[in-house]
Each structure stands twice: as structure tokens, then as C-alpha cells.
Chain A
Amino acid sequence: MRIGVITFPGSLDDRDAMRAIRLAGAEPVALWHGEHDLKGVEAIVLPGGFSYGDYLRCGAIAAHSPIMAEVIDAANDGLPVLGICNGFQILVETHLLPGGLVRNDHGDFIRRDQRLRVESTESSWTSGFTPGQEITIPLKNGEGGYIADEATLDRLEGEGLVAFRYLDVNPNGSLRDIAGLRNERGNVVGLMPHPEHAVEPGFGPDTPAAMRSGTDGLTFFTSVLRQSVLA
């Protein structure tokens, strides 16, 4: 399976995402924001970082970059798309996912290994988890506060579109502890924490078993791979 990772000006975690894809057993394909070419990939990752220096709003300018026209069409046709951190911000700016992400309520940039509950396994990127599974992956952002109006929040909850919720602490003031969402079809997932930083023993979050041994993020990438094999 070939999975594309789009690099925007200011992307930081594109290479980590490509590494995670490789470790999961798929082939990463580098895609460039300024082109109109998805190179025939079977899934897409919008990586973390600070595209366009977070100018205007986080992800806002990247959302209007040339390749996003193709990404939006492909997502609407069912292509799996995962947005991580800045990639999640890009997804809300394109309105592929609802709501918005604003500055953390405490005003500080935060970096921590974050416990999450998997609220929905009905998606391309979460199907390998068990419902309610608790995972730990790194979180690192300054503008990760999820907001939407009450009606939207109620609809997200009612339709089971909340994919991940923060556990232990709400690190950024996100409404209803929302850490990530999926779309109705389940092919588009966005979240603020970083699964691509928890894919290889020795380089992930600490676990009770051993330091840096956490690999909970790998399941995001093996989920989409498994779906492709089953399809």
C-alpha cells in the first residue's frame, strides 16, 4: 500500500510520518503542497508542524494550497486521510471536519505524553483499536483547543464522530475533552496528539513495562493498511 505524506512550507513531522508508515509495512510517498498530483496514493497523511508559520490561523493558508483541491475531492470520494496536529487544523480549515482549534486555554505551548481513550473504531485509521481502548501518544501544540457550537458538539457525540478523548487531564481546554474526530464515512480522521511519534520501541512514550517503549501510534497506520488488504 502506498500512503502519501504532504509537505507544506513549515511542516515538521512529515519525515516522522513517512517513517511510521514504513514501520507499519506500507510504502510512504512524498507529496508536495504546490502540485496537483496525488501520485495515485491509496491514503494520505497531513503531517504536523507550523505550515506558513501559523499565519492567519493555524492551517488556514495550507488549506488553500494547490494540492488540497485534490485532497478534498479524494476525501469526499472515500480516500483515507489522517490529519495530525497541524494536519487536523488543516482539515477543520477545509471543513472536511467541523469546528475549530484555538490557542490553549492556559496560553502555554504543551508537550506531554498524553493518555487518550479511543471513542470510535469505525474509521480507516482506528479500526485496529478496541472500542474504549486507552492509549498514550505524545501531544505537542500551542493551539489545540477544540471548539464548536453546542449543536455541533451534540451532533458529534450523537453520531459517534468523536474519535479520541483526553484522559486524566484536559491539556488545552478542548470542549468535551475532544482530542480527535472522524467524519461520517470514517475515512477522514484528525487529532491533535501525534501517533507517528509512538511507533518504535526505544523512541515512544514511557510505559509501565519500560522507558520509551510505547508504540500505541502504530495502530493508526496498521489500521489503514489492514483495511486496504481487506478491500
Chain B
Amino acid sequence: MPIIVVEVMPKAELLDPAGKAVAGALHRLGHDRIAQVRIGKRFELHVDGEVDAALLAEVETVAGEMLANTVIEDVVTVEVLGAGVAGETH
């Protein structure tokens, strides 16, 4: 079964308090070289049948309208998992 991966990140210019909290914890543990953490989301959409251009377009629409709130987040990835790997099947 093919999987379409959608990744969403908070907009770079906006505050990401969750990422900031994780960065603070890492610094307390001594990981000083990690300057910043930003936390996003990864969705794996399991698809019935083959992925075609129409379905990818549909997913891009859904990604912009529901999976991300584009006022505060960006859709950074919409791709078929394993795409481009010769002979790969799911």
C-alpha cells in the first residue's frame, strides 16, 4: 500500500514554544552545539491503489486546508514514500 508523506513546520518567523522548551532541555543536558529546535508534524497517508497526479494534487489541497494551518504553518513536503527507488513496492 503506497504511503504519501506530508510534513508541516511552524513558520520560521513565528515563535515555537514547544521547540524552545526542548532546546532548553537539551542545553541543560549539556548539548551546547544544538542552537535551536523547531518541532513540526509528519503525516503518513496510506493510499488504496496507485498514487497518480490527481491524488497528489488532492493531498496537496488537503495539506494546505486541513493538515496545516497556513496562517501559522508551512507544508514543507508532499511526497510518495520510497518514490524514485527502482523496483520498490509497498
Contact = CB atoms under 8 A, between A and B. Distances in A.
Interface of A: 56-57, 60, 64, 92-93, 95, 98-100, 102-107, 145, 147-149, 173
Contacts of B13: 149
B66 A145 contact: no
Contacts of B71: 92, 95, 98-100, 148
Given A99-B71, A100-B72, A147-B72, A173 B17 contact: yes
B7 to A, nearest CB: 14
Query: DSSP majority for the A interface?
Result: loop
A100 B15 contact: no
Contacts of B14: 102, 147
Contacts of B16: 102
Nearest to A61: B66
Contacts of A99: 71-72
Interface of B: 10, 13-18, 21, 66-67, 69, 71-72
A60 B15 contact: no
Contact of A104 (B10, B17, B67, B72): B17
B69 A60 contact: yes
A107 B21 contact: yes
A146 B72 CA distance: 10
B17 A100 contact: no
Contact of A147 (B15, B18, B67): B15
Contacts of A98: 71
Contacts of B10: 102
A98 B69 CA distance: 11
